[in-house]
Chain A
Amino acid sequence: MTPVPYRVRSRVTENRDSATLCLEPVGEPLPTPQPGEFMMLYAFGIGEVAISVSGDPTTTDGTVTHTIRTVGAVSRALHDAQPGTVIGMRGPLGTNWGLADAAGRDLVIVAGGVGLAPLRPVVLGVLADRDRYGRVALIAGARSRDDFLFSEELQGWALGGSIEVHVTVDVPVQGWPGEVGFVTEPLRRLPLRPDRSTAFLCGPEPMMRNAAHELLRKGLAASDIRVSLERNMQCGIGWCGHCQLGPLLLCRDGPVVGYDIASPLLRVKEL
């Protein structure tokens, strides 16, 4: 439960409430996190929160990257941390997306809002080793154009042509080139080979359930759909009990969970 000091090397403001921090170890680095895993990030004297990693998984310089959305006192302090600030870190913790297991398969990546952050390492991992995967489609939704994370990068991915990118917003502005509506719309039209596809979903729970429903309708097996879930996490290591979702301790058995396991649990109100 002892935080390991990391210093903010660089900070990028993503949108009105989110920022990406690249953190370098002050002393000994922690083990390298896998895409989907999370770290407990500590703002000195304020508190600790669980944040999934959002950095490039091929990085070897010991840095860890997180994208933090301001939702409370701790995330605000972390979000506001300027280069040079030392923050505490524990981890890596939890399950990962299992990207290696998806080698040779088509990938469907569906992200809503800040849910794109834990999926960025998947996209970057795929791009770094593109031939390992079949068709790859990314569908990213946000409330409005200004709410997207990694806007420039998203554009680059779309223009690069090596993966298929669909963006959609709830509220359009003049000149918006993408779609309007939920991520399920482009997903519905997406041609896919259900027996050869693996899906990675992250976003608000209703979004993930709707997207998963659409994928099931297209014939994907529930176990080929993986969702990243969020619950209150205080210790991150299975001691505190706060992150339970039915039989799961999400800090240990999640955050990434197969939809075959998650589906019956998410269906029950207030489980």
Chain B
Amino acid sequence: MKPDMGVGDLPPANRDAKTVHLASAGGTIGKMSSTVIDAAGLQQLVSTLLDRGYRVVGPTLSDNAIVLAELRSADDLPKGWGVDVGPGHYRLRRRDDDALFGHSAGPQSWKQFLHPPRQRLWSSDGAEPEEVSPYAFIGVRACDLSAIAMLNGVLGTGTHPDEGFVGRLRQIFVVAVNCTEPGGLCFCASMGTGPAVGPGYDLALTERIDGDGRRYVVDVGSDEGAAVLAELPHREADQDEIDSARSDVSEAANRMGRQMPSGDLRELLVESRESPHWEEVASRCLTCGNCTMVCPTCFCTSVEDVTDLTGEHAERWMNWASCYEFDFTFVHEGSVRQSGPSRYRHWLTHKLGTWHDQFGSTGCVGCGRCIAWCPTGIDVTEEMNTLARLADERSREEQIEETDDG
């Protein structure tokens, strides 16, 4: 089972406001003796998890996208498919190899399983929520593993933990995947969340493809991970395999498609509260909320109390919500954040700034989903870099003024 996962498990870079480029990329590989499984071993990994009663969820090919869905076998994984992503752009592409994990983040994340879009919280009939079998997640990226820890920081570790979330999290089996090929919108290295997977996995794979075919260097993160691995055909990894896997992962940190500005992002956002730049972003923002839906850490919900037609049976539901909704901040005199600029500012500031104040970590993992799925291609890294440049200009002007005054 999962080791307890909290914000404390995030890489240290993640725990303070500073953006630190991950120096220890590849850090999880080779700590203990690594193991290698081949394509047949991966087949058996999926069937072993199914046999153990897990609902096995992983990437599949569906609707011209990489979609997370229940797997019947490893054959459902998207063999030989990659993705091309850009601002407001996501296209599948054929790879020239048969990699199963050669694609970056898709439109969904694991939050839809751990923090489902619609949940019944209470029923006047006293009906208990239905028990679902535990999930095994296959192909969890470093960014998304951090996202799960961040969701736990919000929903699982406060004074009033969400028992449903905690129950589902406690039971998951995580097969993580180290990234060797970052996507065009990835910036996990900026956020200190990847490309190497941090703690919280049961097994971590690094996919290797060469003349000898497809195989996986496996790291074990838990006792259950070790027990599952023992059931698969495997062999000990040789040092060359470990070294090359490690260097491929750490190399990936240098090939990120995007980068956040260096410096304290929380402080930058506090300084930028009244920046004219919010108006400029808002002229491109549709306040559609897509970024909040695809974000693996956006957790906001609305609570809905309903009755049936007789009025005798009532239920309470919790549904995903977005801070871009006009009435998200409604109090009796009207909504607090009515303008587009204020709603964009809130989302970005919460994600990269005030999340630290509220939950002790950043709320952004650098997966790039919000950039790909923004219908107008707003790029958080570009907006943050612009805010940093404007703040820089402001402080330089102030310095000049001071010098003049002096």
Contacts and interface: CB of A to CB of B under 8 A. Distances in A.
Contact of A239 (B155, B341, B357): B155
Interface in A235-259: 235, 237-242, 244, 246-249, 252
Given A44-B314, A271-B342, A234 B305 contact: no
B339 A47 contact: no
Contacts of B303: 1, 48, 234-235, 240
B136 interface: no
Contact of B358 (A47, A231, A237, A247): A247
A242 B354 contact: no
A42 B122 CA distance: 12
Contact of B305 (A47, A240, A241): A47
A182 to B, nearest CB: 18
A268 B275 CA distance: 11
A2 B123 CA distance: 8
A239 B119 CA distance: 13
Contact of A241 (B158, B162, B323, B339): B323
Contacts of B337: 270-271
Contacts of B346: 244, 271
B331 interface: yes
A145 B349 CA distance: 44
- Main secondary structure on chain A at its contact with chain B? loop
A269 interface: yes
B151 to A, nearest CB: 11
Contacts of A3: 122
B121 interface: yes
Contact of A1 (B300, B311, B314, B316): B316
B316 A249 contact: no
A145 B154 CA distance: 46
Contacts of A268: 273-274
- Main secondary structure on chain B at its contact with chain A? mixed
Most buried by A among B302, B305, B338, B354: B305
A240 B122 contact: no
Contacts, number: 101
B321 interface: yes
B309 to A, nearest CB: 11
A46 interface: yes
B64 interface: no
A38 to B, nearest CB: 14
Interface string A211-244: 0000000000000000000111011011111101
Interface string B159-202: 11010000000000000000000000000000000000000000
A74 B126 CA distance: 22
B116 to A, nearest CB: 13
Given A234-B302, A270-B337, A271-B342, A244 B354 contact: yes
A45 interface: yes
A68 to B, nearest CB: 12
A190 to B, nearest CB: 29
A31 interface: no
B342 A270 contact: yes
A247 B301 contact: no
Most buried by B among A71, A72, A234: A234
Contacts of A47: 305
Given A72-B332, A232-B329, A244-B350, A239 B339 contact: no
Nearest to B338: A270
B90 interface: no
A237 B329 contact: no
A230 B318 CA distance: 22
Nearest to B341: A270
Nearest to A49: B332
Given A72-B332, A232-B328, A269-B342, A238 B158 contact: yes
Contacts of B330: 232
A240 B336 contact: no
A1 B155 CA distance: 13
A231 B329 CA distance: 7
A45 B306 contact: yes
Contact of A242 (B300, B305, B349, B357): B300
B399 interface: no
B273 A271 contact: yes
Nearest to B305: A47
A234 B328 CA distance: 10
A189 B346 CA distance: 40
A42 B315 CA distance: 12
Contacts of B353: 247
Nearest to B299: A241
Nearest to A45: B307
Contacts of A242: 300, 302, 321, 328-329
A1 B122 contact: yes
B339 to A, nearest CB: 6
Interface string B341-362: 1100010011001100110000
Interface string A46-59: 11100000000000
Given A240-B301, A270-B338, A271-B273, 8 more contacts: A1-B121, A72-B332, A235-B318, A238-B158, A238-B159, A244-B350, A270-B341, A271-B337
15 contacts: A2-B122, A45-B314, A46-B305, A235-B301, A239-B154, A239-B160, A241-B321, A244-B358, A246-B349, A246-B357, A247-B354, A247-B358, A270-B338, A270-B339, A271-B337
Interface of A: 1-3, 42, 44-48, 71-72, 75, 230-232, 234-235, 237-242, 244, 246-249, 252, 268-271
